[in-house]
Chains A and B, each alone.
Chain A
């Protein structure tokens, strides 16, 4: 039960955490029958460019900015007997996260609303690409890249003595700066009509256009060492949605009927990316036919299939019957159909130099369009009741199914990444899940509430290593009323078990042959979401409000996941979190809220590497045998630790005249990847024998992100209805993540080695910023 303290906490919590929001209606909701129209206009200045700072707010560029918000709410007076109502609202009009909405209608009969919303996403502003014609669906290369010999000459790796296939370092000078990001614009029209007491109809029609550039990369030739090059993928999407709902009420029965239609259109079906490298294909194990040694020159177009246009229909029916005033029967049914029938691209772009070589081996496409079709089903029946005072019970059964009806065909495809021919089937994937659940809760007269939940689910997959999986979970929770509040403790235990693991099931479905030792997972490896698992969870919480002006909440959570049948793969995952919240209002007009949360997630994995295993990968069964060191055994230990804290305060220094406030938030996260190696791996006890231990030399340096933000604001009402708002915000982020800061080319420690690596990354740096933002605005209420 929520205490008064928690309600206070909610109110106090609203003081902070939303530094970017500057809605015209502010945070002052007091004042009966006050003016209902508000306009805020102002200017501001931002000190620094940062995609990370303005990722979703649009405040990514330095310089002046405009503040523009307004609200106008009107309609019939409460006691006029009329029901007219209207509202117009605009927020953040001066930025690219603007939103304008208008609603009008007669309450209880109808209303109509229109909306325009713009949502930016600034992905990065420190990257570079080699390509021109950015934004089109055929990228180009700067003229200098295409040398007369049509090669960016392969050079010799001075460290390994092997021939490299490209030379990224000679291409660096062609890189040009490129920002990545997208912008969504949504327009919608919503309506509601209630022709009678029994029926209510709702409908919504929306159109969304999203455009911009996404940062992507691809491998060009060269087998598994791969020549990676980053490129800007054009985003030019349109999504149309239609939704209609009818609600019907008949005495003690409520029904809903819903239909949803969604149409996604990608205005680019494919993207052609020219290779900046000259590459030489290499052996590709598993390919039916390979074309080793063939040379693919600079400028060869690589064909990328962009997200295909698609459609989805969904029908939902819901019924709730009040069998008695405290007994409910819910029945839900849902059916969905997702279709995608884009034309299939040819196996390779027409410029592919190997096409003549491959032509005799390539079969025609088995069909010209995807003919993709997925059906989804959802059904649920639930009884809920209070058969005795203070006793509540519910029981439910649900079924969820996904049936992929896309035809299966054999494709003889050219994998341009590896310049090889593959004979592979596409594998439609279907699955279903049944869930039965029982809930019971009873509150004793002593103020103790005991709740118990039993949950059982059964998952069936059409093609997978684990075809059938059951999970049984039980949970108990005790809530006790204590002086000034409540305390609660809960425990959960869950067991997940699956059918016998079938290694290589997917590979077999694709190729028709059992995978070789180099093509599939190591023996006894289990995928984390298919593996048997035991879960224990504990929660503890206190909510106390010793006075109307003070509330304190303390909470803790611990979850242990064990994977007892996974000698290899994810072995264990432990996470815990703790939280403290304090809300305090020592005097009238002064409110303070502070919180701190710590979260840690630690996981352990074992793995084997190497070209082949001994004995046969499918031979050892879990719990037996030892795999010799022909395969390199190793382990990971991952730890994520996150600290988050915040402090917010507002003070009505002079009531109705002067209000000041501060919001401060700080977050620090640390991620460790520790690695250890071994000579032997013992399947029986899942240990790495002769383990080298977690060594600093092989462990990845701690990745860290530290961010803090402080916002100061002052509202001074110097004339009736006219308020000056001054806001200053400082935000800082420091990130040190080696994976995010690799530069355009790998940072190799040995001199000379750098001369021959065939990579052209975007060369981004960690998204650090130190941004000052000052805003002055006038708010007029009338």
Chain B
């Protein structure tokens, strides 16, 4: 029943897609006026916009006149800010503001999100960004310039030890998790968010760079890839069933301490079902401490918990 509903909704959606006129294309096709760009390009702009925060773009890959694919290989500043003859030529009275440029990425009256992102996507909707439209960030109305700072020589989000700060400005829970005792070295700059996630969207919910969660983990943890002779099913299915990659209060990024994490799946008549409480950790006059509740817990014995290639270790003990 649910499937039928989804299929029906999908068909309605498709009909909508193809029956509606594309707004931007329509606007573009009716425009017959040739844009009027400043004759001297960036030099015109820099007559006024000469402070360092703006002119530093001249040190960036966007400002390479010899590369016809870059903004400065075309119409300099106006490649991104749009042809703005009114802005260039207006002579407002003292104290008044000029007409704004056509596309404004910041300030009190920025252009619409669609207009701003369209500028970037005009060149960058390829390679790693082919999934942008319809991606989680796009659907949540994230502007390209919310993460990217193009007027700086080194865009912080592209610098390893600064990228996480950009991501953490929205993903505050992940920031807090990065301070937990067990964490990937993200704050230390050795692992960065984009090692695992493609913020421009992928075919995965979590915008992972690989097709599956486990394949993403195997990028650095290839020794866990196997396939092993004896597989541990949840390990093969999804690493995040047991690990929180953003940080944990438990060793090895585990979501719960061992032995209790193991007991979420293993219970019953064997030692797996015993209650591992205080008496099992500290012992008392009649009860010995249990090895399952000390040090590495269950892993004291089941050391190859990710899978074993030893024909004598069906229970991951060798």
CB-CB under 8 A from A347, the residues of chain B are 311-312
Interface centre among B61, B125, B131, B311 (most CB of A within 10 A): B311
> Are A642's CB and B139's CB within 8 A?
no
Given A617-B269, A742-B295: 8 more A-B contacts, CB < 8 Å: A108-B69, A119-B190, A327-B22, A387-B20, A389-B23, A529-B234, A705-B181, A761-B295
A-chain residues with CB within 8 Å of residue B277 when the two chains form the complex: 634, 673, 675, 698-700
Q: How far is the CA of A199 from the CA of B24 in the complex (A)?
A: 27
Among candidates A80, A200, A334, A677, residue contacting B275 with C-beta atoms closer than 8 Å = A677
Query: Which residues of chain A have C-beta atoms less than 8 A from B269's C-beta?
Result: 516-520, 522, 609-613, 617, 631
Q: What's the Cα separation between A93 and B15 when bound, in Å?
A: 59
Closest Cβ of chain B to A235, distance in Å, is 8
- Residues of chain A lying within 8 A (CB to CB) of residue B288: 157, 159-160, 225, 746, 748, 753, 757
Contacts of A107 in B (CB 8 A): 61, 64, 66-67, 70
User: At the interface, yes or no: A664 with Cβ under 8 Å from chain B?
Assistant: no
- Docked-complex contact A610 and B273, CB < 8 angstroms: yes
Min CB–CB distance B279 → chain A (angstroms): 6
Q: Contacts of B301 on A, CB cut-off 8 Å?
A: 217-219, 226, 228, 417
Interface of A is mostly: strand
What are 27 inter-chain pairs, A to B, with CB distance below 8 A? A13-B168, A17-B165, A29-B154, A78-B58, A78-B65, A80-B65, A81-B66, A108-B68, A226-B301, A230-B295, A262-B222, A262-B225, A305-B308, A310-B226, A326-B22, A327-B17, A340-B226, A344-B229, A376-B212, A416-B317, A454-B6, A519-B270, A520-B268, A522-B273, A555-B172, A568-B267, A609-B269
* Pairs A-B, 5 closest by C-beta atoms: A384-B134, A387-B20, A518-B269, A324-B22, A305-B310
Task: Give Cα A597 to B17, complex, Å.
Answer: 42
Are A597 and B314 within 8 A (Cβ)? no
A31 adjacent to chain B (CB < 8 Å): yes
Whether A10 contacts B165 in the complex (CB less than 8 A), given A388-B20, A436-B10, comes out as: yes
Binary per-residue interface labels of chain A (222-245) against chain B in the complex, 1 for a CB within 8 Å, 0 otherwise: 001110101000000101000001
Q: Is B77's CB within 8 Å of the partner chain A?
A: no
Closest B residue to A230 using CB positions: B295
A578 to B269, CA, bound (A): 41
Which of B81-89, B93-101, B257-265 faces chain A? B257-265
Docked CA distance A454–B237 (Å): 24
Return B46 CB to nearest CB of chain A, in Å.
Answer: 10
Query: Does A739 lie within 8 Å of B281, measured CB to CB?
Result: yes
B110 to chain A: closest residue by CB: A4
From the candidates B2, B130, B260, name the one contacting A330 in the complex (CB within 8 A). Answer: B130
Asked if A50 CB lies within 8 Å of chain B CBs, one says no
Bound complex: CA A262 to CA B283 (Å): 47
* Interface contact B127-A200, CB-CB below 8 Å: yes
Interface: B32 (CB within 8 A):
no
Given contacts A228-B295, A404-B231, A406-B229, contact A365 B311 (CB under 8 A): yes
Known contacts A108-B70, A518-B270; is-contact A326 B24 (Cβ 8 Å): yes
Give Cα A735 to B172, complex, Å: 24
Q: Which residue of B lies closest to A633 (CB)?
A: B275
Query: How distant is B116 from chain A, measured CB to nearest CB, in Å?
Result: 10
- B52 CB-CB contact with A under 8 Å: yes
- Whether the pair B278, A753 counts as a contact (CB closer than 8 A) is no
A325 touches B28 (CB 8 A): yes
A130 lies within 8 A of chain B by Cβ: no
Inter-chain CA distance A7–B107, complex, in Å, is 12
Point out the residues of chain B lying under 8 angstroms from A216, CB to CB. 296, 303
Complex: how many Å from CA A570 to CA B278?
Answer: 20
Q: Known contacts being A108-B67, A749-B284, is A608 close to B161, with CB within 8 Å?
A: no
Q: Indicate whether B233 reaches chain A with its CB closer than 8 angstroms.
A: yes
Is B25 an interface position by the 8 A CB rule? yes
Is B197 interfacial (CB 8 A cutoff)? no
Specify which of A228, A308, A322, A642 is in contact with B176 (CB 8 Å cutoff): A642
Instruction: Say yes or no: is A415 at the interface (Cβ < 8 Å to chain B).
Output: yes
The interface stretch among A137-145, A173-181, A427-435 is A427-435
Contact of B170 with A by CB under 8 A: yes
Q: A residues 12-39 with Cβ under 8 Å of B? A: 13-14, 17-18, 20-21, 23, 25, 29-34, 36
The contact string, 1 if C-beta is below 8 Å from chain B, for chain A 27-68, is 001111110100000000000000010011100000000000
Near B by CB (< 8 A), chain A positions 724-753 give 733, 735, 738-740, 742, 746-750, 753
A429–B226 Cα distance when bound, in Å, is 12
Q: Per a CB cutoff under 8 Å, which of A224, A314, A392, A697 touches B271? A: A224
**In the complex where A217-B295, A266-B223 touch, is A18 in contact with B311 (Cβ < 8 A)?**
no
List the B side residues contacting A334 at CB < 8 Å: 203, 211
Complex alpha-carbon distance, A604 and B169, angstroms: 33
Interface check B111, CB cutoff 8 A: no
Q: Which of B207-266 contact A (CB under 8 A)?
A: 210-212, 215, 218, 222-231, 233-234, 236-238, 241, 249-251, 256-258, 260, 263-266
* Contacts known (A327-B17, A746-B283); A264 close to B222, Cβ less than 8 A: yes
Q: Which residue of A lies closest to B184 (CB)?
A: A56
Decide if B196 is an interface residue (CB 8 Å cutoff). no
Question: How far, in angstroms, from A581 to B166 measured CA to CA in the complex?
Answer: 14
Within 8 A of B (CB), among A564-586: 568-570, 577, 579, 581
Q: Could you give, for residues 293-332 of chain A, a 1 whenever the CB lies within 8 Å of some chain B CB and a 0 otherwise?
A: 0000000001111011010101010101011111110101
**For window 659-682 of chain A, which residues contact chain B by CB distance below 8 Å?**
665, 667, 669, 671, 673, 675, 677
Question: Does A569 lie within 8 Å of B267, measured CB to CB?
Answer: yes
| Cβ distance A104 to chain B, nearest Cβ, rounded Å | 14
Q: Are B59 and A738 in contact (CB under 8 A)?
A: no
A395 in contact with B311 (CB, 8 Å): no
A451 contacts chain B at the CB level, 8 A cutoff: yes
Q: Chain B residue with minimal CB distance to A223?
A: B271
Most buried by A among B64, B156, B299, B306: B64
Is B313 in contact with chain A by the CB < 8 A criterion? yes
User: Is the C-beta of A342 less than 8 angstroms from some C-beta in chain B?
Assistant: yes
0 or 1 for each of B109-140: is its CB under 8 Å from A? (1 = yes): 00001000000000001110011011000111
Question: CB-nearest residue of chain B relative to A759?
Answer: B291
A217 pairs with B300, CB closer than 8 A: yes
Counting CB contacts under 8 A, is A413 at the interface? yes
Cβ B227 vs Cβ A372 within 8 A: yes
Q: Does A88 count as interface, using CB distance less than 8 angstroms?
A: no
Contacts of A665 in B (CB 8 A): 179
CB neighbours of A568 from chain B (8 A): 267
Q: Which of B1-48 contact A (CB under 8 A)?
A: 2-3, 6, 9-10, 13-14, 16-20, 22-25, 28
B142 at the interface (CB under 8 A from A): yes
* Cβ of B45 to closest chain A Cβ, rounded Å: 13
Q: Is the CB of B318 within 8 A of A254?
A: no
Q: Assess whether A603 is in contact with B256, with CB atoms less than 8 Å apart.
A: yes
Q: Is A249 an interface residue (CB 8 A)?
A: yes
Q: Does B274 contact A (CB under 8 A)?
A: yes
Which residues of chain B come closer than 8 Å to A673, judged between CB atoms?
257, 260, 277
Which of A78, A346, A416, A525 lies at the interface centre, i.e. has the most chain B CB atoms within 10 A of its CB? A78
Which residues from B are CB-within-8-Å of A304? Answer: 303-304, 310, 318
| Binary B-proximity of A100-140 (CB < 8 A = 1, otherwise 0) | 00000001100000000101000000000000000000000
Q: Give B266's nearest chain A residue, CB to CB.
A: A521
A314 to B173, CA, bound (A): 33
User: A338 an interface residue at 8 Å Cβ cutoff?
Assistant: yes
Closest chain A residue, CB of each to CB of B41:
A79
A721 to B268, CA, bound (A): 70
Contact status B312-A312, CB under 8 Å: no
A400 proximity list for chain B (CB < 8 A): 211-212
CA distance A426 to B230 in the complex (A): 5
A336 contacts B by Cβ under 8 Å: yes
- In the assembled complex, the Cα of A216 lies from the Cα of B300 at a distance in Å of 7
Which residues of A sit under 8 angstroms from B268, Cβ to Cβ?
517-522, 525, 608-609, 613, 617
**CB distance A310 to B169 under 8 Å?**
no
Tell whether A32 pairs with B72 under 8 Å between CB atoms, given A320-B130, A449-B141, A603-B256: no
A18 touches B165 (CB 8 A): yes
